[in-house]
């Protein structure tokens, strides 16, 4: 998992509430043998609509999704997070996230930031007016910066618990956390009895 | 106070522990197969990580491989892709693999013991819940999920909370015709499918010590069906004799060192289990399931139970639903139930002893013409051995089908499936709705009951022939 300290990029407005994980990635896309390649299934049901935000050329290359309230409800599929990441999103902003989705995203290194709904509205207005609006999400100082539709520079604070922030800033997933103790694993391996089997090919 | 066997093995593998955190446990052996590994390998690739100990990792193809025409390409594209992906991943990450056509190919839980990779005192994991099988050697073995597979591939460790321990004491002597499958079905009927949740089971007592290694594997295999992630049996002379001279068994001075260590792997006399269960082996009869979970079982001489006879309302509705699915009426003698298919195989009962015991019943007899019987060896090596002993001829002459190795109809991921409404007597481990094919109905039985049923056409034990 990559370290997340701060991220700047353009954003896509998703003016819908209650976008559940079935809409983020339908079940038919779950038969894959990979954790990658789910971007084609992202919001699959809406992708055939040329007006859907992801299809609009002005939003191409965006890395921040600004979603309506109650984003990520429904099934616990981790694939929803993978699909957003595979597509290129680094951050999702919303006024409310479903618990499981938020947990999954934090494990996988997708930053989910909670702002007040009126702040989300201000960001929507800004990016709808000018799709090149740069948004900076700073995890270190816990704020989101952008220029709003009236031209004012805005700095919005958000909350995130210390442990999650530390893990994201260190880029530690469970495997990453274990790697911080890898010297202990090495020491343990030195004590592993020599008679225990190894799978190297048998001499015939 | 003394320690239980499970506690000793656990303590031997703790890499580091801290208050309020799970223990980090070292894993001695990691078995992988085609279905639960692709995302784990992909995760490694995305994070630019290696398999930490390819020398402690081994792969085989089992869950969705066909058991007919294995020299031809796999017809089902989804299965073919999964198998192909496993091969590519193993090549890329340097993991040894036994592919279709290789004599060491087979069900992952048959292959490990047969190669001598499974040994007492080890920690063994696999992305498959029946990894508990390996506990028969006095190893701590349990199934894990795909993200845990990735964790083990990357670090050879797993953060885990230590479960409690439960003793299953089985004292006495089994009657002829009663097998270890009947012991475990009786245990699950007694403690329920959730009874072992949060526990490591240790099977003990004179009836367990009298069992062969293969019979012990059948018992430990189904620990998960009692809700326990792991079940084990203290190693003894039977274990050591089985392991000795296998391809990966220690030799020479190493063997002596290993033996000295293994002989100490027992629960201390003054150790306390968190819970104890007692079973009288003298009283056990051949067991069969009548419902749709492995806890819904009864002695073969019984009748289909009346759901109203259960006390617990949850059990009552579960029984009602099960009888509806199984199309059975309360009061029907179990021995009058007609079956269409007999499946002899799986990681529960697909080993050489299982094939031998069934062949002994079938020898010189014909199966009922209304019955289709599939005999699927647990591994390619078991198949070869059976052919050397002429067992294949016994099955074929009786009218059964002799297949290649794999999971086959245990879970019906390959073409071996029940049709809707078909009823099977199966030596596998799960009688869930649709497990062996959509709409299929499963009665779990021992290999002896499977063989007798194939001859009679109705659920039967060898004594009924
Ligand atoms: S034989 Fe059945 S239970 Fe055993 S590993 Fe295969 S699918 Fe799982």
DSSP symbols for B141-161:
EEE--HHHHHHHHHHSEEEEP
Question: What are the backbone angles phi and psi of residue B204, rounded to the nearest 5°?
Answer: -140, 175
Q: How many other CB atoms are there within 10 angstroms of residue B240's CB atom?
A: 18
Q: Is residue A179 over pLDDT 90?
A: yes
Among the partner residues B117, B119, B155, nearest to A179 by beta-carbon distance: B155
Residue A202 has pLDDT above 70, yes or no: no
Q: B401 in contact with A at a CB cutoff of 8 Å?
A: no
Is A175 within 8 Å of B155 when comparing Cβ atoms? yes
Residue of B nearest to A107 (CA): B147
Residue B146's pLDDT is what? 79
Query: Is there a contact between B435 and B424 (Cβ–Cβ < 8 Å)?
Result: no
Evaluate whether B233 touches B220 at the Cβ level (below 8 Å): yes
Q: Decide if pLDDT at A146 tops 90.
A: yes
pLDDT at A74: 74
Residue A42: per-residue pLDDT: 95
This prediction has a pTM of: 0.85
The predicted structure's pLDDT at residue A70: 87
CA of A36 to the centre of ligand 1 (A): 28
Longest distance between any two alpha carbons in chain A, whole Å: 78
Q: What is the pLDDT of residue B413?
A: 83
Residue from B25, B155, B262, B265 whose CB has the most chain A CBs within 10 Å, to mutate: B155
Give B347 Cα–ligand 1 centroid separation in angstroms. Answer: 6
pLDDT over threshold 60, residue A204: no
- Give me the count of residues in chain A: 204
Q: Which of A33, A174, A195 lies nearest to residue B151, judging by beta carbons? A: A174
Instruction: Tell me how far apart the alpha carbons of residues B187 and B189 are, in angstroms, rounded to a whole number.
Output: 5
Residue in B54, B92, B152, B156 to test binding to A, most A beta-carbons within 10 Å: B156
User: Nearest-CA distance from A143 to chain B in Å?
Assistant: 28
> In this predicted structure, what is the pLDDT of residue B84?
94
**Residue B375 phi, psi dihedral angles, 5° rounding:** -110, 115
- Residue B20, pLDDT score: 66
Q: Of A68-82, A148-162, B74-88, B282-296, which range is least confident?
A: A68-82
Q: Which A positions 124-153 lie with beta carbon below 8 A of chain B?
A: none
Alpha helices in A109-173 (DSSP H): 117-129, 162-170
User: Can you tell me the mean pLDDT for A178-183?
Assistant: 94
Distance separating alpha carbons of residues B60 and B99, to the nearest angstrom = 6
Q: Name the nearest CA neighbour of B61 among B79, B75, B39.
A: B79
CB distance B291 to B431 below 8 Å: yes
Q: Assess whether the C-beta atom of B409 lies below 6 angstroms from ligand 1.
A: no
Mutate to test the pocket of ligand 1, among B128, B403, B409, B444 (most ligand atoms within 8 A of CB): B128
Measured between beta carbons, the chain A residues lying within 8 angstroms of B38 are: 32-34
Predicted local confidence at residue A19, as pLDDT: 87
pLDDT at A119 over 90: yes
Chain A CB within 8 Å of residue B259 CB: no
Find out whether B356 and B215 touch, Cβ atoms under 8 Å: no
pLDDT of the residue at A138? 98
Say yes or no to pLDDT of A102 above 80.
yes
Using alpha carbons, select from A79, A66, A70, A120 the residue that is nearest to residue A99.
A70
Burial of B122 (0-12, 13-18, 19+ CB in 10 A): buried
pLDDT averaged over every residue in chain A: 90
pLDDT digit string (tens) for chain B, length 465 residues: 899 999 999 999 999 998 767 899 999 999 999 988 998 999 999 889 999 999 999 999 999 899 999 889 999 888 899 899 999 999 999 999 999 999 999 999 999 999 999 999 999 999 988 999 999 999 999 988 778 899 999 999 998 889 999 999 999 999 999 999 999 999 999 999 889 988 999 999 999 999 999 999 999 999 999 989 899 999 999 999 999 999 999 999 999 999 999 999 999 999 999 999 999 999 999 999 999 999 999 999 999 999 999 998 888 988 999 999 999 999 999 999 999 999 999 999 999 999 999 999 999 999 999 999 999 999 999 999 999 999 999 999 999 999 999 999 998 888 899 999 999 999 999 998 888 988 999 999 999 999 999 999 999 999 999
Q: How confident is the model at residue A28 (pLDDT cuts 50, 70, 90)?
A: low
Q: Is the dihedral of CA A1, B144, A102, B20 positive or negative?
A: negative
pLDDT band at A30 (very low <50, low <70, confident <90, very high): low
CA of B62 to the centre of ligand 1 (A): 8
């Amino acid at each position: 998992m990559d370290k997340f300290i701060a991220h700047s990029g353009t954003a896509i407005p998703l003016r819908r509430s209650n976008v559940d994980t079935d809409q983020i990635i339908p079940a038919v896309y779950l038969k894959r043998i990979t954790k990658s390649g789910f971007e084609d299934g992202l919001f699959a049901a809406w992708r055939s609509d040329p007006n859907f935000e992801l299809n609009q050329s002005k939003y191409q290359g965006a890395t921040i999704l600004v979603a309506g309230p109650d984003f990520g409800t429904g099934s616990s599929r981790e694939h929803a997070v993978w699909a957003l990441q595979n597509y290129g999103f680094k951050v999702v902003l919303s006024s409310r996230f479903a618990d499981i989705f938020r947990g999954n995203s934090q494990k996988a290194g997708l930053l989910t930031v909670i702002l007040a709904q009126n702040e989300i509205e201000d960001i929507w207005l800004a990016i709808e007016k000018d799709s090149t609006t740069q948004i900076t999400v700073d995890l270190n100082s816990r704020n989101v910066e952008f220029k709003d539709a009236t031209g004012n520079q805005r700095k919005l604070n958000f909350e995130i618990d210390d442990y999650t922030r530390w893990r994201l800033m260190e880029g530690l997933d469970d495997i990453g956390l274990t790697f911080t103790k890898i010297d202990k694993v090495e020491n343990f391996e030195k004590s592993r009895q020599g008679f225990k089997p190894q799978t190297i090919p048998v001499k015939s | 106070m003394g320690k239980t066997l499970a506690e000793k093995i656990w303590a031997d593998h703790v890499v580091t522990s801290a208050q309020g955190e799970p223990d980090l446990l070292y894993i001695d052996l990691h078995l992988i197969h085609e279905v639960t590994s692709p995302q784990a390998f992909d995760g490694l690739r995305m994070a630019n990580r290696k398999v930490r100990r390819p020398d402690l990792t081994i792969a085989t193809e089992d869950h969705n491989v066909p058991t007919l025409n294995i020299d031809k390409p796999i017809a089902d594209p989804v299965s073919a892709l999964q198998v192909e992906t496993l091969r590519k991943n193993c090549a890329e990450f340097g993991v040894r693999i036994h592919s279709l056509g290789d004599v060491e190919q087979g069900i992952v839980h048959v292959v490990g013991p047969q190669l001598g990779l499974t040994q007492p005192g080890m920690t063994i994991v696999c992305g498959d819940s029946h990894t508990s099988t390996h506990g028969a050697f006095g190893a701590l073995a349990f199934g894990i999920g795909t993200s845990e597979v990735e964790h083990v591939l990357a670090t050879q460790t797993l953060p885990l909370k230590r479960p409690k321990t439960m003793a299953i004491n089985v004292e006495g002597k089994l009657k002829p015709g009663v097998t270890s499958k009947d012991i475990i079905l009786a245990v699950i009927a007694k403690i329920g499918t959730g009874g072992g949740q949060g526990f490591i089971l240790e099977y003990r007592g004179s009836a367990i010590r009298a069992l062969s290694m293969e019979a012990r594997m059948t018992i430990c295999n189904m620990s998960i069906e009692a809700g326990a992630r792991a079940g084990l049996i203290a190693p003894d002379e039977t274990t050591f004799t089985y392991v000795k001279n296998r391809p990966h068994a220690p030799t020479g001075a190493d063997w002596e060192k290993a033996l000295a260590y293994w002989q100490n792997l027992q629960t201390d006399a003054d150790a306390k289990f968190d819970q104890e269960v007692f079973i009288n082996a003298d009283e056990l009869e051949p067991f069969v399931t009548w419902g749709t979970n492995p806890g819904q079982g009864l002695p073969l001489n019984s009748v289909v139970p009346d759901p109203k006879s259960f006390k617990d309302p949850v059990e009552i509705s579960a029984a009602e639903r099960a009888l509806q699915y199984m199309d059975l009426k309360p009061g029907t003698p179990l021995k009058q139930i007609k079956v269409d298919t007999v499946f002899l195989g799986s990681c529960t009962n697909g080993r050489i002893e299982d094939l031998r015991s069934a062949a002994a019943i079938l020898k010189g007899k014909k199966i009922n013409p209304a019955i289709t019987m599939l005999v699927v060896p647990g591994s390619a090596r078991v198949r070869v051995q059976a052919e050397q002993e002429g067992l294949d001829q016994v099955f074929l002459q009786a009218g059964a089908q002799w297949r290649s190795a794999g999971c086959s109809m245990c879970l019906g991921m390959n073409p071996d499936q029940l049709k809707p409404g078909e009823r099977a007597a199966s030596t596998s481990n799960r009688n869930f709705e649709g497990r062996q094919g959509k709409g299929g109905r499963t009665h779990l039985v021992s290999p002896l009951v499977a063989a007798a049923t194939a001859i009679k056409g109705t659920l039967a034990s060898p004594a009924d022939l």
